[in-house]
Amino acid sequence: MDEVQLWVRDSGKGMSSEESAKMFDPFFTTRKDGIGLGLAMVQQIAEQHHGRIEVETEAGRGTCIRLVMPQNGGTNEQG
């Protein structure tokens, strides 16, 4: 199956194993002004369209989040 990938990478502080384990939980946030719904919603939408989110993170080195979606929306149709 052909896939389309969108990568978002930063060179920030990265995430601890505890943070990365909870990052898709609704209302989990490490930000003072966050509500913790963004990644939970993105994950739900991706899964509804037969996609996935892959995460690589290392404390002190940053994080790379990759959204992987089927090119044809998970169907065999062309167009």
- Output the CA–CA distances (angstroms, integers) from residue 52 to 15, 30, 48, 65, in the order listed: 19, 23, 9, 10
Tokens 């369209």 correspond to what residue?
A: 49
Q: What pLDDT sits at residue 35? A: 94
Q: What is the pTM of this model?
A: 0.80
pLDDT, tens digit, 9 for 90 and up, residues 11-69: 999 999 999 999 999 999 988 999 999 999 999 999 999 999 999 999 889 999 999 99
73: closest CA among 46, 55, 54, 53?
A: 46
19: closest CA among 36, 6, 33?
A: 36
Q: Which domains does the chain have, with CATH numbers?
A: 3-70 (3.30.565.10)
